[in-house]
Amino acid sequence: MAAFIPDSNNRNSITLRNDDGSSITVYEQGAHLSSWKSTDGVEHLYLSPKAIFEDRKALRGGVPIIFPQFGGYGPMLPVHGFARIRPWKIEDSENGRATFSLHAGLAELFPEGCSLSDSPQNAVKLLYTIHFSNMELKLTMKVTNTSEEREAPFQFAFHTYFAVEKLHRTVVNGVNRSPYVDNNESKGDPKAKVHQPEPLWIIREEHDRVYPGQHCAILLQDLEAKRAIQVSTPNLPDVCIWNPGPEKCAALKDMPSDGYQHFVCVEHGNMLKQVVVPPNSSWTGTQVITILPGSPADAKM
């Protein structure tokens, strides 16, 4: 049976390898996927070299799991919820696949007006399955509400940091015709203004927007290296594209000042509206990342 073991940072993690030569590394805290490498040694996820490896501190980079609250869209602290800072269990693993689990109380999804005595403490089960190979990374979260009486409301996202060599030569394609909510402007207001579409090709400054109800397939293309990654979903309606830009990046303790130049976050999820899982029911969300042959994009620089 696979097990977490201490790494060089004295944090419990596990590295799994596929027969095709690809590999992933996952941390016990948060079931945090920190690395996905293909057999050529290329790392497709960005992990900050200044990431903080401490209890109840989410790693900066990789794929933090956002649950049960997205950002400031609710009263919960810490923002983005508790799933990314709690220890998970390994359920099973085999060639190219691993599954992790976390239990939580229904009351934890109701930060106001619900006591732990209102429902079983382990009424909500998260089952996280990672499929990986040289060409594809598939992330699937299943949330099951075992309560007999109460609904389970939550927000969710795969907060995926994609490694790029240079931000200024990375084309983001897929949301040019999509309305958006500006997270800096909305301040967590679920009724925030929805802006009309604006072209987005190259991120040149801070960018923090949710494109709601799009089921977008996002394409990240490196203009020089001729590499491309497609990020898609069959069932998560919202996509957030985020990069802190130079000023905000410089203020982050767990990020080098030039870190913003080396990643783009593409997060699929249910962010602006809650998922509501009825009693004795389940919900599933999936994000699929596919490595494609790249080609220069027809975009104005």
Torsion 194-196-199-205 (CA) sign: negative
Q: Which 8-state DSSP code applies to residue 43?
A: B
* pLDDT of amino acid 112: 61
* Sheet of 97-104, strands arranged across: 89-94, 97-104, 124-132, 136-145, 281-293, 227-232, 218-222, 170-173
pLDDT (tens digit, 9 = 90+) per residue, 165-197?
A: 999 999 999 998 899 999 988 777 767 789 999
In this prediction, residues 46-52 reach a mean pLDDT of 98
pLDDT (tens digit, 9 = 90+) per residue, 255-276?
A: 999 999 999 999 999 999 999 9
Give the domains, in start order, of the chain with CATH numbers.
5-165+244-292 (2.70.98.10)
Q: How far apart are CA 99 and CA 241, in angstroms?
A: 27
pTM of the model: 0.93
52 pLDDT above the threshold of 70: yes
Residues acting as catalytic residues: 159, 267
pLDDT (tens digit, 9 = 90+) per residue, 3-14?
A: 999 999 999 999
* pLDDT of amino acid 144: 98
Contact 162, 45 (CB under 8 A): yes
Query: In whole angstroms, what separates CA 31 from the centre of its chain?
Result: 11
